[in-house]
């Protein structure tokens, strides 16, 4: 995918500042999670490798991949509607497709539907040097009723 995306409501810097301010705990517990690109209906995040995210057998843990998928879609929502701290995950289904090797993972989120009260999207997780997905997720976010976009 190209690094050039349609402009969104929030820029990459604005998203980073918002996450620093509103989700300091996420930044503390998952310091290797970085936003790489945002656009209208899109976000790409990188989960930098940390040996603590390995499970027995030498594979990246499910909770680490779930976090990447969840935050990637949240950032795609932010990039599309602006700062909405009270947008919350209402559902996230993830399919683990193949064993990821120890290393960084990318999460690319695409909004499928952006309504007044719900946003639905899908997230593809893969190694940076591969087009093969290690996991695919579909998620729904509830949007705050008082938010204007």
The model's pTM is: 0.92
CATH of 12-142, one of 1.10.10.10, 3.40.190.10, 3.10.129.10, 3.40.50.720: 3.10.129.10
For residue range 85-109, what is the model confidence (pLDDT) as tens digits? 899 999 999 999 999 999 999 999 9
CB 139 within 8 A of CB 69: yes
* Alpha-carbon span 114 to 133, nearest angstrom: 24
For residue range 109-148, what is the model confidence (pLDDT) as tens digits? 999 999 999 999 999 999 999 999 999 999 999 999 877 6
Question: Per-domain residue ranges for the chain?
Answer: 12-142
At residue 10, does pLDDT exceed 80? yes
Q: What is the band of 7 on the pLDDT scale with cuts at 50, 70, 90?
A: low
CB 75 within 8 A of CB 109: yes
């Amino acid at each position: 995918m190209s690094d050039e995306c349609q402009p969104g409501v929030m820029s990459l810097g604005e998203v980073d500042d918002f996450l620093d301010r509103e989700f300091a705990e996420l930044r503390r517990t998952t310091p290797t999670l970085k936003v790489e690109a945002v656009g209208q209906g899109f976000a790409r995040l990188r989960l930098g490798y940390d040996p603590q995210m390995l499970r027995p057998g030498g594979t990246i843990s499910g909770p680490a991949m779930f976090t990447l998928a969840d935050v990637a879609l949240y950032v795609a929502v932010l990039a599309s509607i602006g700062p909405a701290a009270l947008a919350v995950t209402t559902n996230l289904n993830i399919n683990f497709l193949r064993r990821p090797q120890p290393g960084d993972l990318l999460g690319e989120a695409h909004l499928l539907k952006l309504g007044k009260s719900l946003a639905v999207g899908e997230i593809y997780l893969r190694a940076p040097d591969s087009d093969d997905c290690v996991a695919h997720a579909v998620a729904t976010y509830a949007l705050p009723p008082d938010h204007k976009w």
